[in-house]
Amino acid sequence: MNARVEPQLLTRLSSSHLDALEEEAIFVLREVAAFERPTLLFSGGKDSLVLLRCAEKAFGVNGDGTFGSGRIPYPLLMIDTGHNFPEVTDFRDRRAAELKADLIVRSVEDSMRRGTVRLAHPGESRNVHQSVTLLEAIEEFRFDALIGGARRDEEKARAKERVFSHRDSFGQWQPKAQRPELWTLFNTRLQPGEHFRVFPISNWTELDVWQYIERENIALPSIYYAHQRQVIERKGLLVPVTELTPPREGEQVVTRTVRFRTVGDITCTCPVASPAANASEVVAETIAADVSERGATRMDDKTSDASMEKRKKEGYF
């Protein structure tokens, strides 16, 4: 993400760099296989699809049949807010079936029925409430390591996080007391009830992810590429018109050619105007981008400088 860098130079720099990032991710994914009850968080989004490709390679899922158990040795876990883009959930289910992976889905709506999640008002974003459902799932399955596709370039609090990020028995991140992480000697010892969040693609940037998607020819949900969509222009963002995000009084609905840089809860994820129809066009756009992924797309991170940190302390991914 650097306007000074010529695309052809980046291509030269990227190939060995992507190899190194892939190797690092595979190393971490294999390290997690040593836990008793690990799981991989899989949303169907681009970062988790990149993770899944690395896991396929780590465990020989798509190999030539000579090696490998043929399966990823941990289940996939999805925390469903109920506010998903259907293109993404359909894609997620198809991909999990292709890989013959166990897919566990736990939903915020179940937590609402149990009374453990209470919304302030019906239209409230459920993104923050995912933490409750996630912690309930951790308790239910007694997961001790949860792999996630978070990247340090996404956000300032993420930039501070270890690859193996320790969580206490309340699922809390304690940024002031992170364990030192020396070389690749990961201290994975836990007290009962504690767990780790593990981030194999910590050191990837948005551009690395797209270059890898291009190189590996990774299929993505269609909404990552240019499509026509009804949107409202609100506070510099393009808010998608959906049942959950209807136009407010006096707002004008327009049709734009857009794509999503990130996908998440419908109520807080915005597309960007873009004609990019494939991975190489997205790579070119990403090189030229002058607004960050979150800055361009997320309504919920703008409330305060520390909103991500606060949510992570409460157990958010």
Partner 1 sequence: MDASTLAQPVRQPSGDHDAALRFITCGSVDDGKSTLIGRLLVDSKAVLQDQLAGVQRSGETDLALLTDGLTAEREQGITIDVAYRYFATPARKFIIGDAPGHEQYTRNMVTAASSADAAVVLVDATKLAWQDADLKLLPQTHRHSLLAHLLRVPSIVFAINKLDAVQDPALAFRHISAALGRFAQSAGIEPRAVVPVSALKGHNVVEAAPGWCGYAGPSLLQLLETLPVTQAETAEPFSFPVQWVEKFSGSSDTSQGRRVFWGRIATGQVRPGQAVRVMPSGQTATVAQVLDAVRRPRDIGAGHSAGIVLDREVDVSRGDWLLATDAPEAVREVSGTVAWLDDEPLLPGRVYWALHGHRWVKARVRRIGHRLDIQTLAQQQATQLEANAIGQVEITLQEPLATRPFERARLPGSLVLVDTATHRTAGALLVR
Q: Which residues bind partner 1 (CB under 8 A)?
A: 1-6, 9-10, 12-13, 15-17, 20, 22-23, 26-27, 30-31, 33-34, 57, 59-60, 63-70, 152-153, 155-157, 159-160, 162, 175-176, 178-185, 187, 189-191, 202-203, 205, 289-292, 295-296, 305-306, 309-310
The residue (of 78 and 237) whose beta carbon lies closer to partner 1 is 237
Provide the 10 A C-beta neighbour count for residue 85. Answer: 21
Least Å from the CB of residue 313 to partner 1: 9
**Is 49:98 a contact under the CB 8 Å cutoff?**
no
The residue (of 59 and 85) whose beta carbon lies closer to partner 1 is 59
Least Å from the CB of residue 303 to partner 1: 13
Kindly report the backbone phi and psi dihedral angles of residue 194, in degrees, each rounded to the nearest multiple of 5, phi listed first. -85, 165
Q: Parallel, antiparallel, or unpaired for β 227-234 and 253-259?
A: antiparallel
The residue (of 17 and 227) whose beta carbon lies closer to partner 1 is 17
d(C-alpha 144, C-alpha 139), whole Å: 10
The residue (of 116 and 292) whose beta carbon lies closer to partner 1 is 292
Least Å from the CB of residue 235 to partner 1: 12
**Is 230:255 a contact under the CB 8 Å cutoff?**
yes
The residue (of 219 and 306) whose beta carbon lies closer to partner 1 is 306
Place of tokens 């020396």: 182
Least Å from the CB of residue 185 to partner 1: 4
Structure tokens at 211: 């270059």
- 108 CB-near residues (< 8 Å, 6+ apart): 79, 80, 81, 82, 117, 126, 129, 130, 132, 133
115: left (phi over 0), alpha (psi -120 to 50) or beta: left
The residue (of 58 and 88) whose beta carbon lies closer to partner 1 is 58
Structure tokens at 41: 């968080």
Least Å from the CB of residue 233 to partner 1: 17
Q: Residue 24 carries which side chain, given as an amino acid letter?
A: E
Least Å from the CB of residue 215 to partner 1: 12
DSSP class of 185 = B
The residue (of 68 and 75) whose beta carbon lies closer to partner 1 is 68
